[in-house]
Structure formats: C-alpha cells, structure tokens
Amino acid sequence: MLFLYNILTNFASSLLPVIALFAPKIKLFVDGRKEVFKELSSKIKPEDLTIWFHAASLGEYEQGLPVIESIKTKYPSHKIIISFFSPSGYEVRKNNIVGHATVYLPLDTKSNAKEFIKAVHPDMVFFIKYEFWPNYLNELKEHQIPTYLVSGIFRENQLFFKWYGAFYVKALDAFTYFFVQNEKSKNLLVQLGKTNVAVSGDTRFDRVATILEKDNSLSFIAAFKNNKTTLVAGSTWPKDEALLTKYINQTAHNIKVVIAPHNIKKDQIASLKNSITKKTVLYSDYLYNPTMPLAEYDVFIIDTIGILTKIYSYADIAYVGGGFGNPGVHNILEPATFGIPIIIGPNYSHFAEATALIRLQGCRAISNAQQLKKTITELNADATYRTEKGHICSTFVTMNKGATNIILNTIAP
C-alpha cells in the first residue's frame, strides 16, 4: 500500500501545477513550495541546532503555539523551524516572530522527505494534532530523531483502523511519544499496540488562557459598541450569515452586531452588506475614514483578518460560525476564555470542547432562524443569566489548562 501511496503522491505532485492555473488557492499551494529548499538553505547552516514543528493550518499552529514558545524558551540555542501544509495557515502566519524559518511542507514524496530532513536536520520534531505523512515519518525513524505528537486526536474512521491501513500504522512507529487529548484516543492507540502515550489534554486551552494577559483593546470596536449589548459573530460562513442577517433585519432589540466572516473576498463581503437593511459599516470603510461616527451604526462587518480574538473581548454574546458545514464549528475557546455565552450551529459532534460546553449549558446549538432569535432574545433580555452562562465558559477554559506543562515535563524533565 505504501508503494501505491507513493505513486499517487508523485502523480499529485505532477498534476497540481496544472490545476493551479485555474485555482488561486492551489496556485498558492504550489508556488509557495517552489522556494522551500532554497529558503531553508539560506536560514539553516549545517552546524545549527534546530527543532521542527509542523502544523496543518492556522488552527493547529495556534493550538501548538504554547508548546512552540515553551520549547523555544527551554532550548534558546536551537532555531525553531515551522512548516505548514495549507495556504490558509502559511499565508496568515508566515511572518510570525516565534520561528526562525517558516515554510510550506513539500509534498510527502520520498525525495522531498529526505531533502527536507537533511536541510532541517532537527534534534526534535513535533507534529500538532494530526497530519501523519508516511515518508516524512519513515525518514525521521530512520534517522532516530525524537518525534512527538501534540494534542493528538484519533477516531475509529481513520485510516489506521482500516484493514488496508497497515502501512499507515507502521509510520506511527516514528513517534517517540503521543500526547493525546482524551482517553478514547489513548485507547485507540493502545489497540494498535502503542503504549508510549499520555492523555495530556488540549494545548488550545493554554493558548486561549494567555489571551487574557494581553492588551485586547480596540478603540474602534469600543466606539461602535457604545456601551450597548453586542453580539460578535466570528468565522461565519454564508449559511450562518443567512440566519444572522434575518435576525438583524427583523429584530427590534437594541443590540449591536459585529460580523467577522471566515471568507473576506470582496464580492462576498459586498453581498453580505447588501443583505442587511440596518445601518452597516465595513472595517475597510473605517480605515478609509477613521473619524466616522461608528456609534451610529448597527452592524460592523470586519473585512480583514487577525483581530477577531480582540473583538471577542467586547462581546456580550458570541456566535461562532462553521456549524452548518463540514467538518463543523470553528474555535469556540477564544470567546469562551472571555466568559461569553456562545451560540453555534448543529455540526459540532467532532469537537470535544463544543460538546462539553453544550452539556454544561455555557454554549447552545441552534438549527434554524427561529432558534437563533429565541436564544439571542433570552441572552439579551437578562444580564444575570448571560453572565452565568459566560462564567461556565471561562471556568471550563481555566479547569482544562495544563497540557503544555505535561508535555514539557515528559520530554524534558
């Protein structure tokens, strides 16, 4: 099966440049990989000590950041190398300050794996949550490089647990230790004969807990809020926005709404703005005219990236998007850490934190416009009720911190 996997991977390597001619995101994926080895050779010398972290995309990078920062502090003589698979991660965090070099991970061919490991020559490697690339893992095993999985999640439907997944299971032999989020993942690994595993929890809790220590002030959001009850809808998709705009257009409540869409393409932003009948302003409008009276507007659409976390600090109610699509709802821990009651769509079963917060009643899942209106109305009407639900969320984050310390104490006591 590994032979077939390599044939398919090499075929994909040849096909993607053709697809890139017609798909902008694939073009980023392909073009970004063209200069990887040149960049590595310019930033890493043969005598350098290095530690390599790999994240699939932006969410995994943020999830692993507490470990990256802690490792960087613990090993100050090492250069930190960060790789991404997805453009949505690399393009947003390519200029991060924690890594000495940040690159796309070349496709998982045998030749790429050999060249990449030779160029980086890491003393330790960390894969965050998932992305198990057999050729890279086999190369790491061959060179006996300590390799760790951080905040791993395993499910029965993964390739490891299929009759044809033996080559994939064998690749797991490269891992020195698995740090997983829950007992279910540990038990599944034990079924595969892996005993080098610990339930450390999710490092995202450590990540979001540190947000409270930072300056989250945004004067333009404070001006827009104007001391009124504010709903912040983050990482929204069109299905989320259809329900939100129906609520906004029909409600008589004196409530402010901030919408930060997941996709900020101009045509989609324009369509969203045009669908709202109340007074609406774009972040780009504000940048063009920073003296505009934001307090006079009802809806603020954030057509940029990188500031949603700070915006959540101004929320009285949070709506987190993605719950009407696959794989499901986006990160609910960022609003949770600020002690805000959360509303999401119905697709959340693959996300343990969402399932837990719904059980604890700090988060509520809705399936239609009527349920959204009812939930917002209840939260808007009673500040005490709202505070109680928000406290459940912030306590949940606080109680689940500590994964980073478990990891660090295990690999470098």
Residue 299 DSSP SS3: strand
Instruction: Report in angstroms the alpha-carbon separations of 133 from 103, 117, 168.
Output: 16, 13, 8
Residue 270 DSSP SS3: helix
- Read off the pTM: 0.87
Residues in the chain predicted with pLDDT less than 50, given as ranges, are: none
Helix (H) / strand (E) element for 124: namely: strand 124-128
Helix (H) / strand (E) element for 189: namely: helix 183-191
CA distance 200 to 215: 29
- Point out which residues pair with 55 in neighbouring strands: 84
In the 8-state DSSP scheme, what is residue 149? E
CA distance 195 to 245: 51
Which distant-in-sequence residues (6+ apart) come within 8 Å of 366 by Cβ?
Answer: 243, 343, 344, 345, 346, 372, 375
Give the per-residue pLDDT at 413.
62
Asked if 379 contacts 386 with a C-beta cutoff of 8 angstroms, the reply is yes
Instruction: Report in angstroms the alpha-carbon separations of 206 from 55, 308, 345, 409.
Output: 17, 18, 25, 15
Asked if 302 contacts 259 with a C-beta cutoff of 8 angstroms, the reply is yes
| DSSP sequence for 320-372 | E--TTSSS-----HHHHHTT--EEE-S--TT-HHHHHHHHHTSEEE--SHHHH
